[in-house]
Structure 1
Amino acid sequence: MDLTAPTFGLVNGHPLFLDLATDSYFLLEPDDESELLKALQSNAPSQHPRPVDWPKPASQVTLVGDPSRPRFADILFIGASLTSVRRRLRRGLLADLISGLFEPPAGDRDTPETVGLARRFLCARRWLPHQGNCLADSLALLIFLQRHGATASLIFGAKLDPFAAHCWLQAGPTLLNDRLDRIEGFTPVAALSP
């Protein structure tokens, strides 16, 4: 997967870019922003990139009322994945970490299976002492899904005034590792899919 080209979303009417190669968010200078916005409004073919157009999720995975206990093997694997992801995030750029996670899937991916696996992840995650972090948790869940032959899309969202960034995993219309109300204020600026 090519992670060298920055992507953007229209956040409060401003193109906000995410450059995964440098692990940074940025806005354009006023003249450049004006030119890009005019090109986007004209709908004419141009050399300018298009904003990320990612559908908002309609449902979320929840553990409310789920009495199941996690599998010990899941706790061990997820704990090791979280530790590895956090260590790698501290040592390098984000693009280096995720570049190998989005290989094209072999065959169809069944959303109900993905949702069930996400529920298993969340159930086991509750038993781990790691403090929650949207990026580390999303990447660990993605690794867990891929280990079991499933996959999902990694969405990076942002908002302005004040600036905040967030990420989550989504399979079709289903939010896998967050709550709908928590992501509502974030506009997608990058969407990585297999």
Structure 2
Amino acid sequence: MGYKLRAGVSFCIAGERPIFLDRYKDRYFALAPEREAAFLGLLGTPASDHGPTSVTELIDAGVVQEDRLGEGICACNYDEPPISSLWDRDVPSSVPATANAAASLFRAIRGLRVANLPSVLTAIENRKHALAPSGRPDDSEVLARTAVTFRALGKVIASHNRCLPYSLAIMDRLLRQGVSADLVFGVAVRPFVAHCWVQHRGAVLSDRLEHVRLFTPILVI
């Protein structure tokens, strides 16, 4: 009998430790040493010398479940490392465009108050899946214009500690224009910090490159 991650759970290796995100419960967590050793054992990764912990405890903790289809356990593997950021360009934005971005931001903030995060993420997934493959020549213009507009907004309404509503607002603006991007959640340790950003291929649309590179992706929508 094999095992796989429980539905809604993803993880990454950050600071040589597995860090987990349960999107259905909207929480990040790590495991106690013995459970962590047992989990790493499931990955085939050499574990430190802690006492044995039954896989049953990992199941009871909501980390893994039985796998009858051979899916196995894999860390988040985002194959688009960030190589540039449209926020690193100091390009002016018009007042009307910035005002529209502010309206999108406030809608995102309100949406997080009236709906839980799992439903918000599911809605984004559904909207992305409904988009036809694009690759249109004007996509790059939409991406650049959107990034520039929200960067300008960030000078008025600080984006610090608002990475989630900013990212959701940018995703909404892009999807409304038929352009897809990735909503990336990442973590850093010592101390633990969680972050999220919007990325299209290797280009970051909602933060500076040097900041995003501090985080290890744990979930990509």
TM over 0.5: yes
- Distance in 1 between the 2:134 and 2:205 partners? 18
SS of the counterpart of 1:62? helix
Q: How far apart are residue 12 of structure 1 and its match?
A: 0.9
- Distance in 2 between the 1:164 and 1:14 partners? 14
2:15 maps to 1:12: yes
Residues 142 and 174 in structure 2, CA contact (< 8 A), matched pair in contact too: yes
Post-superposition Cα deviations, 1:100-155, rounded to whole Å, max 9, x if no partner, equal 1222121224452453233343355257x433211110100001111111121011
- Distance in 2 between the 1:79 and 1:29 partners? 42
Q: Relative to 1, partners in 2 of residues 1:134 and 1:21: Cα closer, same or farther, differing over 3 Å?
A: same
Matches within 5 A, 1:134-173: 134-173=163-202
2:142 maps to 1:117: no
- Distance in 1 between the 2:40 and 2:23 partners? 22
- Distance in 2 between the 1:57 and 1:64 partners? 15
Q: Relative to 1, partners in 2 of residues 1:142 and 1:34: Cα closer, same or farther, differing over 3 Å?
A: same
SS of the counterpart of 1:35? helix
> Aligned residue for 2:116?
93
- Distance in 2 between the 1:86 and 1:159 partners? 24
2:33 maps to 1:30: yes
Q: How far apart are residue 31 of structure 1 and its match?
A: 2.8
Residues 61 and 118 in structure 1, CA contact (< 8 A), matched pair in contact too: no
2:208 maps to 1:179: yes
Percent of pairs with identical residues: 28
Post-superposition Cα deviations, 1:45-94, rounded to whole Å, max 9, x if no partner, equal 9664210111321111036352x43261x334322221121122234421
Q: Which runs of 5+ in 1 are unaligned?
A: none
Q: Which 10-residue stretch deviates more, 164-173 or 113-122? A: 113-122
- Distance in 2 between the 1:156 and 1:49 partners? 19
Aligned length: 185
Give the residue type in structure 2 aligned to 1:167.
Answer: C
Q: Indicate which of 62, 73, 98 corresponds to 1:49.
A: 73
SS of the counterpart of 2:82? coil
Matches within 5 A, 1:76-87: 76-87=99-110
SS of the counterpart of 2:87? coil
Q: Indicate which of 61, 64, 80 corresponds to 2:86.
A: 61
Give the residue type in structure 2 aligned to 1:78.
Answer: A
Q: Which runs of 5+ in 2 are unaligned?
A: 1-6, 46-68
SS of the counterpart of 1:51? coil
Give the residue type in structure 1 aligned to 2:106.
Answer: T
Residues 63 and 119 in structure 1, CA contact (< 8 A), matched pair in contact too: no
Q: Relative to 1, partners in 2 of residues 1:69 and 1:186: Cα closer, same or farther, differing over 3 Å?
A: closer
TM-score, normalised by the number of residues in structure 1: 0.82
